[in-house]
Structure 1
């Protein structure tokens, strides 16, 4: 398991690169669900899919 400092470092490093298109996430690496990314939600919450 990663410690909090390492996660924060990776977030600070990778998030800007993701936002400006320098890196991409392959859906097969990101919890692929039926050909697309799945939803992330807190337990006990209900989210409705939009149009």
Structure 2
């Protein structure tokens, strides 16, 4: 999976309100500086202040 993220031109993350998504948050952190990210999270997502 990490190899596919690396090869991608764009990486899209969707964080659902009722989940904690620790692996997705880790992957988001790995690619924060990549300029490949599109991220959506609803108001009230528990880690909203960290994204």
Regarding TM over 0.5, the answer is: no
Larger proportion of strand: 2
- TM-score normalised per structure 1: 0.30
Greater RCO, 1 or 2 (C-alpha within 8 Å, sep 6+): 2
- TM-score normalised per structure 2: 0.30
Q: Could you say which structure has the larger radius of gyration?
A: 1
